[in-house]
Structure 1
């Protein structure tokens, strides 16, 4: 009988044999090496991540939505990325949809059977329209929930960015942009919350950060579209205004108040814009990019 060939995400690594008999430090060293090897897999994916980031930017510019579709650990990676985008880059929460099999967990209970629920996926994907972007994530690339979501979203005219850790993933059949994260087998066979999920999170973070840059929400490494809705972030916003314009603490606070917390407009006011209306107009002309708006002053 021909032995069954397991997907890479399910394969047992040779060096994991006898793992439970080893000293703590040696086990941890091997776990860390597994995480580092998973991250190294992103080197080959940079062109695809770039394509995906620009699809996301195009979607937001056109008034579309970004839908994260996944189950289990992959769903948590999508949630961690998507839920941060409104605060970090000032995107409207309405632009982001987190579609996770079984719903976003509110406790430690996350049943595994929900990943097979294609009916739930069909209900969730009904919100995805032509011109939207879907990020479907699955370590195996065969998880029914994101697979059905990507299939139906593509048919509806949405851009589909499909991320999987197995080369022959069925998910890629429905991809506008396919990202294969060629992570090695896990130290704990099949525990894709480890290396595979680490690579997924890094890819998602890189993708959404490049999107934020291309939308004009980053200037010299500073998040100039941040939503300053707590003490720490208000201090950060003031620091950004000071860093870019060289004004005093008092002036930074004053222009931020005039701009109702809009960091880009505050920077323009501190740089010589006559009033709030001119600052807003300059940003409209530049497509929201601060650098060309500053050059007009």
Structure 2
């Protein structure tokens, strides 16, 4: 079989050739930008079609996280870097403990910034990395691979399932081994790329959206949001400190000085400050009441 025939026969849609873009290299900058922008819309359509599967994944993952489990991400290349990004952002946004958001990427930390050739082809390393992360029955593994055939990711899934973890799989191709191997398969069918095989384009966009949806929905269900306010954010810089103050003022109707006083009394915890102001209690009492409801501000306030 020739190289050309092997490429032609590849059943993965993400490896296909889109006949609409055979003259891509002749387009003007304006036409190029329009082409790429239009094609990205398919990422949104793919995510929209996957809403039921994404919802099922959230429902399945929630009980394990409520019991103290972790989110474990596994991927290679672009998919792996998107997992690292999603895991990293959970701490400043929701005060999610960093040790409960573990990102595994083929090639290790070096692969975050540069390509590590061949790392994704090693299934045994995927297994080893999952074992090294001490993945167990209380954890949730989110495996991401555009192709759905990446050996590193399949190894990670196999080991996670053997350890009793819940497994979620995101793939941009139907009928792939990854979707068959996980408990919660999520198909993001984005089709061929404008630049053939470059899944950092709309396949990656769909993965980014899906990861955002899964983790954000879980954080809302876990009480990290009050209304649509990120009341568990970690104010680690001047911008976030100002945001925390605005959140307390918005949620309670308090003036700036009262909100700032409550925030300081709460050690910078937005949720605690809101409960303090709304129930006219001290920080210790606010913390006690929040603890009784698992940290859900709305339930805490409605129970009183």
**Bucket of the pairwise TM-score, normalised by the shorter protein:** over 0.9
Q: How does 1:1-297 map to 2 (within 5 A)?
A: 4-105=9-110, 108-126=113-131, 127-297=134-304
Give the 3 Å change call, closer, same or farther, for CA 187–78 of structure 1 in structure 2.
same
Give the 3 Å change call, closer, same or farther, for CA 55–262 of structure 1 in structure 2.
farther
Give the 3 Å change call, closer, same or farther, for CA 106–141 of structure 1 in structure 2.
closer
**Deviation of the 1:107 alpha carbon:** 7.1
**Deviation of the 1:33 alpha carbon:** 1.3
SS of residue in 2 equivalent to 1:39: helix
Q: Distance in 2 between matches of 1:124 and 1:169?
A: 22
**Deviation of the 1:100 alpha carbon:** 0.2
SS of residue in 2 equivalent to 1:190: coil
Q: Distance in 2 between matches of 1:25 and 1:272?
A: 56
**Deviation of the 1:108 alpha carbon:** 4.2
Show CA shifts across 1:79-129 (max 9, x none): 111110011111111101110000133774212311012232122111211
Show CA shifts across 1:130-171 (max 9, x none): 120000000000000111100110111100000001101101
Give the 3 Å change call, closer, same or farther, for CA 156–184 of structure 1 in structure 2.
same
Please report the RMSD computed on the Cα atoms of aligned residues, expressed in angstroms.
1.6
5+ residue gaps, structure 2: none
**Deviation of the 1:27 alpha carbon:** 1.8
Q: Distance in 2 between matches of 1:121 and 1:184?
A: 26
Runs of 4 or more consecutive aligned structure 1 residues displaced over 4 Å after TM superposition? none
**Deviation of the 1:222 alpha carbon:** 0.7
Give the 3 Å change call, closer, same or farther, for CA 273–285 of structure 1 in structure 2.
farther
5+ residue gaps, structure 1: none
Q: Distance in 2 between matches of 1:284 and 1:237?
A: 21
Aligned residues between the structures: 297
User: 2:122–2:152: 8 Å Cα contact kept in structure 1?
Assistant: yes
